[in-house]
Amino acid sequence: MKHASSRAKRTCVVGAVLLLGLAGCTGDSSESGEAVATATPDEVRATSVAPTAEDPTTEEPSPATPTYANENEEAAAQAVIDLWTVIDEVRQDPEASPGEMAEVSSGQAFDQWTLTLQQDQQDGFVFAGNTIVEIESVTELGEPGTYKVVACMDISDLSINGEYLDRSASGGDFQRATFATSFDETRGKVVVIESPLEYEPCAP
Q: What is the pLDDT of residue 144?
A: 86
Band the pLDDT of 137: cuts 50, 70, 90.
very high
- The residues near 112 (Cβ < 8 Å, ≥ 6 apart) are 4, 8, 9, 12, 195, 197
Instruction: Name the H helices within the chain.
Output: 6-18, 41-47, 71-92, 107-122
Domains of the chain: 8-18+69-201 (3.10.450)
Is pLDDT above 90 for 133? yes
Residue pLDDT, tens place only, 59-114: 544 455 678 889 999 999 999 999 999 999 999 999 999 999 999 999 999 999 99
Residue pLDDT, tens place only, 8-46: 333 343 344 444 433 333 344 334 344 334 444 444 333
